[in-house]
Amino acid sequence: MKRVNSTPRPGWKAFAQSVGFNFHTFDGEPYWDESAYYQFSLQQIEQDLEDPTEELHQMALDLVDDIISDEQKLRQLQIPSQFWDAVRASWRSKEPHLYGRMDFSYNGTGPAKLLELNYDTPTSLYETGFFQWVWLEDQLLRGELPQGADQFNSLQDKLQQAFAELDLPQPFYFASVTESIEDKGTVDYLMDIALQAGLNSRYIQLEQLGDIDGQLVDLDGFPVQGLFKLYPWEFMLQEDFAGTILTSQTQFIEPLWKCLLSNKGILPLLWQKYQGHPNLLPAFFDDGSALQNGWVRKPLLSREGANIELVTNDGKALKQDGPYNDSGYIRQALAPLPQFNGNYTLIGSWVVADSAAGICIREDNSLITKDSSRFLPHIILD
Amino acid sequence: MTNTKTFKRSKTARLIMMVPAAGMVLAGCGEKPVEVQVFNSQDECAAYYNPPAECKAAFDDAKALHPQVAPRYASRQECETDFGTGQCETAPVLAANNTVPTEQTQQSQQSSGFFMPMMMGFMAGQMLNRGGMAGAPQQQTAAANRSPVPNQPLYKSRDDRSTFRTATNTAVASQPGSTSIRPSAVQPKPAAMARRGGFGAQAAQRNVSSNGG
């Protein structure tokens, strides 16, 4: 694994705009960054990332039964008790899931360490599955990359296959929050793939969803029988339509049981069950005491690095503020992100259905990866 | 030549909606009328040389839509004033009919206290233009995917027993068979009002740029 400087394609920004990538620059700072790429060996990809991703995914799925049959665990994850039965029902009736992403600390050697699961509303999907793929093809054509360079990125193929095989109700609706350009981009991408898979797909703003007699309905008042929502379950469970979730005849993607796995409480539960697993870091539910050197504190429910606090091995404290300060916390042993050229590098590894489907790389100037962290492409070359 | 290398990346990554294909023109103004068929019954539909299975499918669609879109009246008398004596029935609670009917939902159908006219016929909007959709997914767009005219129930008023009318009282034909209509004039709309805005408050309150991670 190494970081290689690279010449950005001339005019890539205009191209990005033309293919719907409207968030390539974030508050004036680059988000998509092709001034460098990461290079992996095939062995690094397959043995250190792909295989562990699928194994960890199965370990996480195996935990669901443990959690739903143990009220203490449901309480530790702060799942509201009025939804316990619905969570159990969604798992026991095998409601299918679509995708997720796990984040790793990995420097090219030794086992990748699982930092967290983003199993409900993972984003950076379009950048990974489409824009990164096009970058590779372009740079191969232009002779800027060695012939034979490949990429661990079967994301779009696997998503299309999943949409074709899931047998979803149609029309199938996709919803995101009106204000977020990034979320709309992600949902547009998924809808595009779903259309290509032959699914009758429609967009609805999340805020426009209606309720008639406990049934979710679209703008015309027709029942929404299938819904992809790029909106966290823990929010939905505390909003005005929370009760509608219990009565509406709607198949959700991701399904309700995913709220167990997107919760950081899954990290201590994984450690309890599989203590010592090479890809896991020691993790515990937080007791509120001061953080020791080499530990991280994370909210049960947060995203984009918000509200994370850590103390490095040599005692340096680092804290990221954010809007997710209203849940409990876990603590996890610190696996500091490796540094390449002064950048801290995080690897996101995608899962579609139950298969590993590719990686994305984020760089930040700090140990905590955030929404604004740069996205860099990668190649596989032996 | 032996090329057994398996790639770790997608074979293709194309977009059809986010990247409009060259030459694809957005639907302009000036709505084109489309051909639909209207019938009193499934048997009549089949008698017009339509495949019986398609007649049944269109009829079933219309029947399922009927309790959702039929005009609602507070009393039987008001309903019969518009549709004729003996031509009205009780309207069920909407949620029970919102899903594909199963035995449970049919048994547990509750009356909403409202009345609605009986369904007197149906419009088959998809019988003529259904072919080829599954075979050419790359040509589909969100707009093309939505059939312009849904199969739907039709009604007849007390004073005019020959004219087929939609649930919103648009006259569509005075005899069975083919007729030409503008799709926008015959889009069924549910009778009940929805509550809205029940999701999204947390995002607004936390003011985050993304709800993903």
What is the rounded CA–CA span in Å between residue A365 and residue A372?
A: 10
DSSP state of A32: B
Pairing status of strand A251-253 against strand A226-229: parallel
Which of A124, A136, A229 is closest, CB to CB, to B9?
A136
What is the rounded CA–CA span in Å between residue A236 and residue A208?
A: 14
Determine the average pLDDT of the residues in A251-280.
97
CA distances from B159 to B83, B116, B162 (A): 8, 17, 9
**Cα torsion for A271, A274, A278, A282, to the nearest 10°?**
20
Best residue in A153, A199, A212, A301 for a mutation probing chain B (most B CBs within 10 Å)? A212
CA distances from A52 to A58, A361, A381, B102 (A): 10, 17, 20, 43
- Decide which of A143 and B127 is more confident: A143
Nearest CA of chain B to the CA of A154: how many Å? Answer: 4
Pairing status of strand A29-30 against strand A329-333: unpaired
- The DSSP secondary structure of B149-186, one letter per residue, reads S--EEEB--SS-TT-EE-TT--EEESSSEEEEE-GGGG
Which chain A positions have a beta carbon within 8 Å of B145's beta carbon? 171, 195, 200-201
Pairing status of strand A25-26 against strand A29-30: antiparallel
- What is the pLDDT confidence band of residue A151, given thresholds at 50, 70 and 90? very high
Mean pLDDT of chain A: 94
CB A300 within 8 A of CB A329: yes
Nearest CA of chain A to the CA of B47: how many Å? Answer: 30
Residue of B nearest to A158 (CA): B10
CB A18 within 8 A of CB A11: no
CB count in 10 Å sphere of residue A376 = 24
Pairing status of strand A36-40 against strand A378-380: parallel
Tokens of A62: 């195996």
| A356-372 residue pLDDT tens | 999 999 999 988 888 88
CB B120 within 8 A of CB B164: yes
What is the rounded CA–CA span in Å between residue B157 and residue B84?
A: 7
Contact B199 A241 (CB under 8 A): yes
pLDDT at A86 over 70: yes
State ipTM. 0.89
Which chain A positions have a beta carbon within 8 Å of B200's beta carbon? 177-178, 206-207, 231, 239
- In chain A, the percentage of residues whose pLDDT exceeds 70 is 100
- What is the pLDDT confidence band of residue B91, given thresholds at 50, 70 and 90? confident
Which of A20, A210, A303 is closest, CB to CB, to B195?
A210
pLDDT of residue B100: 44
Tokens of B85: 């004596």
Which of A175, A203, A213 is closest, CB to CB, to B95?
A213
pLDDT at A237 over 50: yes
Which chain A positions have a beta carbon within 8 Å of B146's beta carbon? 171, 200, 202
Contacts of A195 (CB under 8 A, 6+ apart): A201, B16, B17, B137, B140, B141, B142, B145
Nearest CA of chain B to the CA of A54: how many Å? Answer: 15
pLDDT of residue B128: 54
pLDDT of residue B95: 54
The type of residue at B148 is: P
Please tell me the number of Cα atoms within 13 Å of A103 on its side-chain side: 26
Which chain B positions have a beta carbon within 8 Å of A171's beta carbon? 145-146
Determine the distance from the C-alpha atom of residue A48 to the mean position of all C-alpha atoms in its chain, rounded to a whole number: 19
3-class SS of residue A101: strand
Which of A196, A200, A215 is closest, CB to CB, to B98?
A215
- Decide which of A110 and B94 is more confident: A110
Nearest CA of chain A to the CA of B20: how many Å? Answer: 9
Contact B212 A19 (CB under 8 A): no
pLDDT of residue B200: 92
Which of B133, B194, B213 is closest, CB to CB, to A303?
B213
pTM confidence score: 0.79
